[in-house]
């Protein structure tokens, strides 16, 4: 029995199939997730902008912190936003 016959068909498709269709089939869930996250960010920004310039400035500062902070510190961001907006 050859090594190729013992492999899973999905593994064979990854190793011997066409690159672009394989890459697109693996990437589309991540693309949808990034679009959903971007849409959520835009909607949140629009909502906060209705509260005024101070709240919008606070959200902008906290978004930049959230992007650069490690995951362990990102729980602080929503709490800080409540104190900043008050």
- Domain limits for position 76: 52-86
Question: Are residues 13 and 41 both part of a single domain?
Answer: yes
Q: What is the pLDDT of residue 3?
A: 63
Question: Are residues 30 and 67 both part of a single domain?
Answer: no
pTM for the structure as a whole: 0.59
DSSP codes of every residue in 16-61? HS-HHHHHHHHHHHHHHHHHHHHHHHHHHHHHHHTT-HHHHHHHHH
Find out whether 85 and 51 touch, Cβ atoms under 8 Å: yes
- Encode the chain (86 residues) as per-residue pLDDT tens digits: 566 668 888 888 888 889 899 889 889 999 999 899 888 888 888 888 888 888 888 877 777 766 666 665 555 555 555 656 55
Q: For the chain, how far is it from start to end, CA to CA, in angstroms?
A: 71
Look at the chain and report how many structural domains it folds into. 2
Question: Are residues 3 and 39 both part of a single domain?
Answer: yes
């Amino acid at each position: 029995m050859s090594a190729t016959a013992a492999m899973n068909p999905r593994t064979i498709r990854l190793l011997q199939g066409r690159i672009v269709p394989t890459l697109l089939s693996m990437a589309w869930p991540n693309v949808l997730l990034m679009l959903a996250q971007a849409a959520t960010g835009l909607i949140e920004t629009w909502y906060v902008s209705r509260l005024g310039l101070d709240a919008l400035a606070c959200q902008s500062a906290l978004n930049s912190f959230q992007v650069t902070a490690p995951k362990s510190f990102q729980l602080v961001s929503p709490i800080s936003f409540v104190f900043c907006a008050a």
